[in-house]
Structure 1
């Protein structure tokens, strides 16, 4: 039996601007242009999501160094508060251990923090540690993560694009385009008409055979979401309505799924966490597709459990964004037939790396597709950009 080098150090850094905290963008970016949110009922917070603090945390960077000097790393959101959790609480469950002990490590991280964690920031921190652990394991074994997860079930990934220009996404070869919803219930019938008008314009530009979806970012209530879904389906052939209501309102999702036109999909889950949260979505029949973010839901170790639950329930798993951390997972799962690509170009009119400038060597789709061989480097196949201003606020 080959004994792998044990874990020597765990370090946590934060960095500002773009990257894993993809909402932390400059002015004029489509991702912060009057997008419907739960805060849009307050006019002063309606135009910009940054106005109510969507970008306050920044990126969390976790590094795990083995005794032989090999370093695994990962990026997610969480910033300085997550750095504190990683350094002061979670590091004890890794240092001195074998990186192959990821099941035990995850269990100890989750249950030791359960009294103040369970979801949100704490699980973001756990996710970052878990992803860095898988990166280290792949590097120590000289294998890509997707090989550690059982190998690829297809030769290439295909993508839909999230951004303000589905018409450009079609030209770039993507299989669909997901728009941000601009107007929520507080903007009344006028806002509803604007939402439908934008969708109708994109349908005219994209043609009938291109997927169009609406990302509602938790902004709606069941009544508004039902009206929007019905009109968008009947008038524009909307493929799915995503994250229409609060992630805690499982009952509302179950009602919405019953309400929408037959054939339209209800999707959600990017702000859900752990197998227990997704079990609620699945058992209560809240949606057709679950969309866990591997950097927020508990990492790869937990995503495998979530995916197994969905597979048994006959539901698809299409992870939210998260670049290479999703790709290595999606290519190994039969119930993850395509992936999301977040268009981080401000326009967005070009395909650019999703987590720039933090990741080096990040692959991007060509003509809406990516060969599995693009992932054939050890770990997640990317390196940390050492030229960015990393800040380590805490040590242990």
Structure 2
């Protein structure tokens, strides 16, 4: 019997003065056998002896070192984890929360509830409870069956009423004609956005097909969660393919690069709602995403998974919580979360 658990690649950086920064690299702990060695064997030696406050210089050095085989691969996941840890470290050295160092735009942000795929009746009940708990936005996951997806969204809309924002994540499940049919059905259900509906194997296809769809519906489209570095966003932004762009701090190049993407989106009057893979089972990427969002005037929502994970089961001393539908950053230095003293004994994964 297979056992599935949430996890992540935790990055730790310590200084000779006793400060420690933590980050998270990539979408999943499954990447550890590849991302871990890149961090430990290639990036870490480059950082030893350097001033950790020079985040911009260190980021560029890491990018240049992986240029020939990175940029669009797991090397960028590795850079992302290190960058998040460096920002956490800088905040602790400066005794300031990261969102203030980035230039605070707001102290809190509205959260959206993101239930996993399961029978419709169970999702409807979870959504009812989420609204009762204070959530005012919900993102549903589509299946490959168009009619089933429309039925799910309609059932949830009937259950939660017209005032709750509904979004739909299709995870590239459709060809463009089917995506068009789905989008027109969702328009009638007052869906706030449809996320990555079209299966794409190349960046050109990704931009072209979603732009084709955007020209044919009034429904807002969202995407960009799997793009790496700001350079992959160029065509997406200049063509305004998506109304909502979704860089992920753990993969796009860390907080540094995600902020650059968000600012570029702002120049095109686009919304930025950062992707947070499975809403970060460790809680570290969730915290990094929160600080990014709080520093961006065009970022109105944060993704919160419904099912917790190690971060809420003892990995972190102070995981983030949703209260009355909002997540608020504390004034704690760095990204505001810290590993529990026994985190490594309880949660470390040993790989063969």
The one-character-per-residue Cα deviations of 1:82-134 (angstroms, maximum 9, x if unpaired) are 11101111113311111121111111111211211112321111100000111
Counterpart position of 2:207: 250
Counterpart position of 1:104: 57
* Cα separation, 2, equivalents of 1:391 and 1:195: 36
**Taking structure 1 as the reference length, what is the TM-score of the superposition?**
0.77
On the 8 A contact 1:225/1:244 being kept in 2, the answer is yes
On the 8 A contact 1:323/1:355 being kept in 2, the answer is no
What's the offset of the Cα at 1:171?
1.6
Counterpart position of 1:294: 249
Q: For residue 249 of structure 2, give the secondary structure of its aligned residue in structure 1.
A: coil
What's the offset of the Cα at 1:239?
1.5
The 1:338–1:59 alpha-carbon spacing in structure 2 relative to 1, beyond 3 Å, is: closer
Counterpart position of 1:144: 97
Q: For residue 367 of structure 1, give the secondary structure of its aligned residue in structure 2.
A: coil
What's the offset of the Cα at 1:311?
0.8
The 1:317–1:73 alpha-carbon spacing in structure 2 relative to 1, beyond 3 Å, is: same
- For the pair 1:231 / 2:185, whether they are aligned, the reply is yes
Equivalent in 2, 16, 34 of residue 67 of structure 1: 16
Counterpart position of 1:361: 318
The one-character-per-residue Cα deviations of 1:34-70 (angstroms, maximum 9, x if unpaired) are xxxxxxxxxxxxxxxxxxxxx8xx6211111101121
Equivalent in 155, 169, 174 of residue 107 of structure 2: 155
What's the offset of the Cα at 1:180?
0.9
Runs of 4 or more, structure 1, over 6 Å off, are 352-355
**For 1:244-323, what aligned pairs fall within 5 Å after superposition?**
244-246=197-199, 248=203, 249-260=206-217, 262=218, 264-321=219-276, 322-323=285-286
What's the offset of the Cα at 1:326?
0.8
Gaps of 5+ in 1: 1-16, 18-23, 27-54, 185-190, 346-351
On the 8 A contact 1:127/1:298 being kept in 2, the answer is yes
The 1:267–1:196 alpha-carbon spacing in structure 2 relative to 1, beyond 3 Å, is: same
On the 8 A contact 1:343/1:354 being kept in 2, the answer is no
Equivalent in 166, 171, 178 of residue 217 of structure 1: 171
Q: For residue 275 of structure 2, give the secondary structure of its aligned residue in structure 1.
A: coil
Equivalent in 105, 125, 132 of residue 171 of structure 1: 132
What's the offset of the Cα at 1:392?
7.2
The 1:357–1:79 alpha-carbon spacing in structure 2 relative to 1, beyond 3 Å, is: farther
* Cα separation, 1, equivalents of 2:301 and 2:274: 9
Q: For residue 89 of structure 1, give the secondary structure of its aligned residue in structure 2.
A: helix
The 1:354–1:245 alpha-carbon spacing in structure 2 relative to 1, beyond 3 Å, is: farther
Equivalent in 335, 342, 348 of residue 390 of structure 1: 348
What's the offset of the Cα at 1:211?
1.0
On the 8 A contact 2:330/2:336 being kept in 1, the answer is yes
Q: For residue 106 of structure 2, give the secondary structure of its aligned residue in structure 1.
A: coil
- For the pair 1:375 / 2:330, whether they are aligned, the reply is yes
Q: After alignment, is 137-146 or 353-362 more displaced?
A: 353-362
What's the offset of the Cα at 1:80?
2.1
* Cα separation, 1, equivalents of 2:314 and 2:33: 19
What's the C-alpha RMSD, in Å, of the aligned pairs? 2.2
Alignment coverage as a number of residue pairs: 323
On the 8 A contact 2:166/2:191 being kept in 1, the answer is yes
Counterpart position of 2:38: 85
**Taking structure 2 as the reference length, what is the TM-score of the superposition?**
0.86
* Cα separation, 2, equivalents of 1:285 and 1:155: 29
Q: For residue 11 of structure 2, give the secondary structure of its aligned residue in structure 1.
A: strand
On the 8 A contact 2:315/2:347 being kept in 1, the answer is no
**For 1:200-211, what aligned pairs fall within 5 Å after superposition?**
200-211=154-165
Equivalent in 79, 84, 108 of residue 131 of structure 1: 84
Q: After alignment, is 111-120 or 287-296 more displaced?
A: 111-120
Equivalent in 318, 325, 328 of residue 288 of structure 2: 325
What's the offset of the Cα at 1:246?
4.0
